[in-house]
Structure 1
Amino acid sequence: MALCVGGMVMMTPAADADAPLRIEALQRCGNLLTLDTQEFCLDVSGLNGAAYRVKLDGEPLSADHIEQQGDLLRLHIDATQAESGPLWIEQQESASNPVWLTLRGSHVIAATQEDVADNMDGISTYVNLVSLIIEESHDGAEEARRLADKYGAEVVGMIPPLNTYQLRLPANDLDERDALVLRLGNEVSVDAVVTEESGAEESIEREPNDTPPAAEDDREWAANRFLDAVNFYQRRIGRAGDEIDTQPIRIGVIERNVDFDAPDFADYLGDCRADAQRTCVYGRDADKPDGHGTTVAGVFAAAWNEGGNSGFLRGLDDVGPGFDVIVDRNSDAGITANVAASVNLVEDGARVINWSWGIHRVGAIDINGDEVDSLVRSGIAMSGYEELLEEFFLWLREEHPDVVVVNSAGNASSFSSRDEYRLPSSFVTDQLFVVGGHERSEQDVPVNDPGYAVKRNASNIDMRVDITAAACVHGSTAVAGEKGEAHCGTSYATPLVGGLLAAMMSLDPALTPAQLRMLLRRSAMTIGEEYDFEPTDADDLTAPILPSERANELNHPDIGRSARLDMYKALDLTVQSLSRER
């Protein structure tokens, strides 16, 4: 029972009053289709009987807008009087982890364990939840309600900028669902029906089961000149009299949560933005430090010399403009939720979206001709996802042309560019960057030698991959100073590129996606064998470096080779381009 006392909220003691104050979940609840007044449900641990405040963007919420039921808080937000921003709880001397509360309204719901079933391919799929992509010529909300009434369904979620609405169907099994999907798909106003294939709880991207090498951050990231890039930014941007005015950049990381008990993230609690120059992390709290989201976020923002990981943007704190790293996955509703979260983050000002996930179609083959057996989806699901992702990238191009999405190439030893096989990496658009993974070789050669790093065996390849980056990193730990186990995969190469792009944008916010790609490729070192523009095979890691990417020197030794990330040179070229503009 919550009581209002002098603008603060009083509560009965929680069962575990000694637990740290943490927000473990934040989702839309109540009527998900209203935008003016929105309701949010928070799962909170560590509250005791003392008064507490809930703060949104630094301002305490009125106590009469907060309901409490044990560890569950319900917040009623007047969206006409508030804006999206960080939300946290303060009680006595403690502050919770800040989460990002978006008022943009795109949200889809996940199925419960009772509402999923295995289809003919043995893949878990939603029985009674689908999403309709409505044709642009129709009012999406109105048409979704009409169709729901016609078929005895209910509108339960939406992504308004994509004219996409989620329906709960009156279906009890997959036969009934498929019959309704067929009828809905034949409606003139329906562009596509998205059927979700995801369990009630599933990691965004599972890494291969092979044993990773014992990663040494400085050894693996040396292949991308990580420390040189941090030093360059600190020295070149931070020196007295420098005329470069940096701009804050917001990054959206599509992951479930981050462990704020890990030393890597322990100092991100409460009002992080009280320091305008530092990197800030917003996310739900995880219960273990070595989860996928914690490791991906750690490549961006883990504290240095505290735990297993070290974040690139965190290394720029002393001179940086203040990077926001927002970790959010909307709900556990699979790919549809990933897209909904991305739409909200873009509308909330994110310039970089990190997608460390991807899926393969059933029947996809790897470079050895064997079938891919992980992260596969049926043909009908892939068709819906492809339409949804197409709508997303068309919307980006029309409404947010300055936003970039950085996507992992995948870990199936397969091909990233075949749209019949893999999404989203097969999309061809300036706003999508695809990242492969490499490991340090055993050769004793200079860092700029193509043999300094080798492709990670599991990494997907081919012409659609823009660049490779280090695939192995230490995970965060629960104990300060302890080195975590190695995590390897293109999931962790992707935020190296995403963090670098954010740093480049902070130097020159006017850079377009095409210009960013040009700077990445012009600055890249090489990896692998030269293949002289032959058809792709197992050695073709990325699109070949072209003469135009080497000052039109036709005999340049890099021509025809694959591209390896050079973080230092990319920043250097960005600063040089600024000098030429002046």
Structure 2
Amino acid sequence: MTCTVPHKRGLWSALLFLALPVTVAAAEPIRIQQLQRCGDLLQAQTQTFCLRVKGLQAGEWQARLNGERLAQQHLGSSGETLQLQLDTDGKRSGPLVLEQQGRQSNPVWLSLGTSHVVAATEDEVAENMDGLTSYVDLVSVVIEEEYDGLEQAERLAEKYGARVVGMIPPLNTYQLRLAAKNLDERDATVLRLGGEVSVDAVVIEESGAEDGIEADTASAPPADNEEWASNRFLDAINFYQRRLQQESGVETHPIRIGIIERDVDFDAPDFSDYTGADCRADSRRLCLYAPDADQPDGHGSTVSGILAAAWDKGGNSGFLRGLDDVGPGFDVIVGRDSDAGITANIAASVNMVEDGVRVLNWSWGIHRVGAIDVNGDPIDSLVRSGIAMSGYEELLEEFFLWLREEHPNVVVVNSAGNGSSFSGRDEYRLPSSFVTDQLFVVGGHQRSEKDVPVDDAAYAVKRKASNIDMRVDITAAACVRASTAKADEEGEVHCGTSYATPLVTGLLAAMLSINPELEPDQLRMLLRRSAMTIGEEYDFEPTEGDDLTAPILPSERANDLNNPDVGHSARLDMYKALDLTVQSLDRVR
């Protein structure tokens, strides 16, 4: 069926196709579980979105984008698939909410950005020689910057019998669907594409987003340990609330945070009060936008909960949520472009940045096949082949070059990884090995068994699985309780650098809300200057598996060569970092 968009001046134009289940329990909430671009991804003026929705009943319903009701039509179909077609002229990205009979769905962020890629289906992947699942007929080409990317992609598609099906225009990257029927045919075409003068790199995708969780299999610390105390979590919240209330001269500013994860469980008590159409009616509260998850203890819910979970519900407790009474109104956007692996992560990141995200949380990463840990054993978690890693490296390089040129004040916070390996070597791990002021790399620690003050270096110890070395900027608590299905229950303890990362993400967002003029290198300096210590002093010598972060330098301790912190690794101090941020407002720039 050919669909057209009705035109009406001054109103949203939308065409909605909805598949309704035959029977749905009256009390079942409306949940948007997936939102992705579909149809012609190269079309920027009229964009089509596919949603997977549960809980809608037969009868009238409405959709709102940025609080505005969409003009719509209902057409019958089957299943739980909904399509939304929008004329983007004069429109902006924002939260999408569905409503029916007084019920409202979870809000999801609908981006009108143009960066989207297609994920392969089960029939479009095959196992390669390394035993990894690899896309057979979908590749992306990074076009040299002096060429018109779309024009070159279309030329290459015609030459090789392919089609252009996706794109990341700011990175001059375009996705092709090849005529290849197996990996041998794909590799032959990739080799020829790589020889084209206009092609900088060819990106092949290995494994799906479903396998994107890097496991920390070491045992969790005792359940009664207050892991976040090692980073002065509550002290930081108390400081923000009391200091900013008392000092009327400190004006806070709204900050938007992007989290590259799949979904969040809005039925969990930690997130249930985020449903509805008008979160921003309260200018000071945190707003969370995400697809809905089926379970409360998934990776996305746990990572997002460290920033946004409600307090006193029994599960997680969000740092930024704790600032609601005095905060500027943080926006937390959770999502991925599609299930097309690393390329989709980058596409989603580009859209988020163009939609105003200032801090990106990347609790993900990959190792090269053959990478070894600090004990010399091979890593078997989230590995990719050499050819895939080479393509990812080029794509990530383009992303950070684009950030530096177009969005120099955006920062990316990345987990160091849980392979007990080296985070800063590009032959071992991406993206943490990139050296740029805009990338912060976070390692993980846990509470030690020693009864010492919180500022003692022995208060916390390196998490055994955490990746290490000089590229790690700072370490944070790696263990957190997951959200639960019922209120007042204790969630299971999850550990990994994935969960240390959002502590730093939330802190950077809070710092920027106090002083939005801070640049990435200044943020890093404040983090490192405020840091407590962890581990022994190593006098800047290679230390095998014991040096968790880059050692604290004299310049980070007022040029005091005799400061006892010098030479130690850096442990996050959320309270002192906020204090130094307030002090930075008085400095002459």
Establish whether TM, by shorter chain, passes 0.5.
yes
Cα distance, 1:88 vs structure 2: 0.7
One-letter code of the match for 1:283? A
**Residue of structure 1 equivalent to 2:38:** 29
Residues 366 and 431 of structure 2 are in contact (CA less than 8 Å); yes or no, is this contact kept in structure 1? yes
**Residue of structure 2 equivalent to 1:365:** 372
Residues 17 and 75 of structure 2 are in contact (CA less than 8 Å); yes or no, is this contact kept in structure 1? no
Cα distance, 1:67 vs structure 2: 5.2
Task: Confirm or deny that 1:202 pairs with 2:205.
Answer: no
- Counterpart pick for 1:88 among 89, 92, 97: 97
**Residue of structure 2 equivalent to 1:301:** 308
- Counterpart pick for 1:171 among 180, 185, 188: 180
**Residue of structure 1 equivalent to 2:3:** none
Cα distance, 1:42 vs structure 2: 1.0
- SS of the residue corresponding to residue 242 of structure 2 reads helix
- SS of the residue corresponding to residue 57 of structure 2 reads coil
**Residue of structure 1 equivalent to 2:482:** 475
Task: Confirm or deny that 1:310 pairs with 2:317.
Answer: yes
**Residue of structure 2 equivalent to 1:573:** 580
- SS of the residue corresponding to residue 284 of structure 2 reads coil
Task: Confirm or deny that 1:39 pairs with 2:45.
Answer: no
TM alignment of 1:450-529, pairs within 5 A: 450-529=457-536
Residues 17 and 82 of structure 2 are in contact (CA less than 8 Å); yes or no, is this contact kept in structure 1? no
For the structure 1 residues 450 and 77, does the alpha-carbon distance in structure 2 shift closer, same or farther, using more than 3 Å as the test? same
For the structure 1 residues 183 and 485, does the alpha-carbon distance in structure 2 shift closer, same or farther, using more than 3 Å as the test? same
Residues 21 and 45 of structure 1 are in contact (CA less than 8 Å); yes or no, is this contact kept in structure 2? yes
For the structure 1 residues 278 and 128, does the alpha-carbon distance in structure 2 shift closer, same or farther, using more than 3 Å as the test? same
- Aligned Cα RMSD in Å? 1.8
For the structure 1 residues 68 and 549, does the alpha-carbon distance in structure 2 shift closer, same or farther, using more than 3 Å as the test? farther
Cα distance, 1:49 vs structure 2: 2.3
For the structure 1 residues 129 and 11, does the alpha-carbon distance in structure 2 shift closer, same or farther, using more than 3 Å as the test? closer
Residues 240 and 323 of structure 2 are in contact (CA less than 8 Å); yes or no, is this contact kept in structure 1? yes
**Residue of structure 2 equivalent to 1:69:** 77
Q: How many residues align?
A: 575
Residues 106 and 159 of structure 1 are in contact (CA less than 8 Å); yes or no, is this contact kept in structure 2? yes
Residues 12 and 48 of structure 1 are in contact (CA less than 8 Å); yes or no, is this contact kept in structure 2? no
Separation in 2, partners of 1:481, 1:69? 41
One-letter code of the match for 2:259? V
Task: Confirm or deny that 1:135 pairs with 2:141.
Answer: no
TM alignment of 1:293-442, pairs within 5 A: 293-442=300-449
Question: Residue by residue, what CA displacement relative to the aligned partner does 1:459-494 show, whole Å, maximum 9, x if unpaired?
Answer: 000000000000000000000110100000000000
Question: Residue by residue, what CA displacement relative to the aligned partner does 1:359-391 show, whole Å, maximum 9, x if unpaired?
Answer: 000111111111111110000000000000000
- Counterpart pick for 1:266 among 269, 272, 278: 272
**Residue of structure 2 equivalent to 1:543:** 550
Residues 68 and 74 of structure 1 are in contact (CA less than 8 Å); yes or no, is this contact kept in structure 2? no
Residues 11 and 51 of structure 1 are in contact (CA less than 8 Å); yes or no, is this contact kept in structure 2? no
Cα distance, 1:94 vs structure 2: 1.0
Cα distance, 1:198 vs structure 2: 1.3
Cα distance, 1:56 vs structure 2: 0.3
**Residue of structure 1 equivalent to 2:198:** 189
Task: Confirm or deny that 1:447 pairs with 2:454.
Answer: yes
- SS of the residue corresponding to residue 491 of structure 1 reads helix
Task: Confirm or deny that 1:50 pairs with 2:62.
Answer: no
- SS of the residue corresponding to residue 206 of structure 2 reads coil
Task: Confirm or deny that 1:534 pairs with 2:541.
Answer: yes
Residues 214 and 417 of structure 2 are in contact (CA less than 8 Å); yes or no, is this contact kept in structure 1? no
Cα distance, 1:208 vs structure 2: 2.7
Cα distance, 1:293 vs structure 2: 0.4
Residues 11 and 49 of structure 1 are in contact (CA less than 8 Å); yes or no, is this contact kept in structure 2? no
For the structure 1 residues 12 and 336, does the alpha-carbon distance in structure 2 shift closer, same or farther, using more than 3 Å as the test? closer
- SS of the residue corresponding to residue 74 of structure 1 reads strand
Task: Confirm or deny that 1:256 pairs with 2:265.
Answer: no
Residues 236 and 242 of structure 1 are in contact (CA less than 8 Å); yes or no, is this contact kept in structure 2? no
Residue segments in structure 2 that go unaligned for 5+ positions in a row: 1-5, 7-11
Cα distance, 1:535 vs structure 2: 1.7
**Residue of structure 2 equivalent to 1:160:** 169
Cα distance, 1:160 vs structure 2: 0.3
Separation in 2, partners of 1:234, 1:416? 35
- SS of the residue corresponding to residue 398 of structure 1 reads helix
Separation in 1, partners of 2:120, 2:189? 18
Cα distance, 1:17 vs structure 2: 2.0
One-letter code of the match for 1:236? R
Residues 18 and 83 of structure 2 are in contact (CA less than 8 Å); yes or no, is this contact kept in structure 1? no
Residues 10 and 49 of structure 1 are in contact (CA less than 8 Å); yes or no, is this contact kept in structure 2? no
Question: Residue by residue, what CA displacement relative to the aligned partner does 1:262-314 show, whole Å, maximum 9, x if unpaired?
Answer: 00000000121121110111010000001000000000100001131000000
- SS of the residue corresponding to residue 196 of structure 1 reads strand
For the structure 1 residues 259 and 68, does the alpha-carbon distance in structure 2 shift closer, same or farther, using more than 3 Å as the test? farther
Task: Confirm or deny that 1:211 pairs with 2:211.
Answer: no
Separation in 2, partners of 1:68, 1:571? 54
Separation in 2, partners of 1:558, 1:11? 61
- SS of the residue corresponding to residue 329 of structure 2 reads coil
Separation in 1, partners of 2:88, 2:317? 37
**Residue of structure 2 equivalent to 1:245:** 251
Residues 356 and 491 of structure 1 are in contact (CA less than 8 Å); yes or no, is this contact kept in structure 2? yes
Separation in 2, partners of 1:11, 1:338? 28
Residues 315 and 484 of structure 2 are in contact (CA less than 8 Å); yes or no, is this contact kept in structure 1? yes
- SS of the residue corresponding to residue 202 of structure 1 reads helix
Cα distance, 1:48 vs structure 2: 1.1
**Residue of structure 2 equivalent to 1:109:** 118
Residues 468 and 542 of structure 1 are in contact (CA less than 8 Å); yes or no, is this contact kept in structure 2? yes
Residues 89 and 95 of structure 1 are in contact (CA less than 8 Å); yes or no, is this contact kept in structure 2? yes
- SS of the residue corresponding to residue 117 of structure 2 reads coil
Residues 102 and 344 of structure 1 are in contact (CA less than 8 Å); yes or no, is this contact kept in structure 2? yes
Separation in 2, partners of 1:12, 1:149? 37
- SS of the residue corresponding to residue 69 of structure 1 reads coil
Cα distance, 1:35 vs structure 2: 0.3
Question: Residue by residue, what CA displacement relative to the aligned partner does 1:109-131 show, whole Å, maximum 9, x if unpaired?
Answer: 11111111111111111011000
For the structure 1 residues 81 and 418, does the alpha-carbon distance in structure 2 shift closer, same or farther, using more than 3 Å as the test? same
Return 95-104 or 85-94, whichever deviates more: 85-94
Cα distance, 1:209 vs structure 2: 2.9
Separation in 2, partners of 1:396, 1:214? 41
Separation in 1, partners of 2:576, 2:340? 40
Separation in 1, partners of 2:36, 2:541? 49
Identical amino acids, percent of aligned pairs: 71
Cα distance, 1:204 vs structure 2: 2.2
- SS of the residue corresponding to residue 526 of structure 1 reads strand
Residues 264 and 301 of structure 2 are in contact (CA less than 8 Å); yes or no, is this contact kept in structure 1? yes
**Residue of structure 1 equivalent to 2:564:** 557
- SS of the residue corresponding to residue 585 of structure 2 reads helix
**Residue of structure 1 equivalent to 2:9:** none
Cα distance, 1:207 vs structure 2: 1.3
Residue segments in structure 1 that go unaligned for 5+ positions in a row: none
One-letter code of the match for 1:247? H
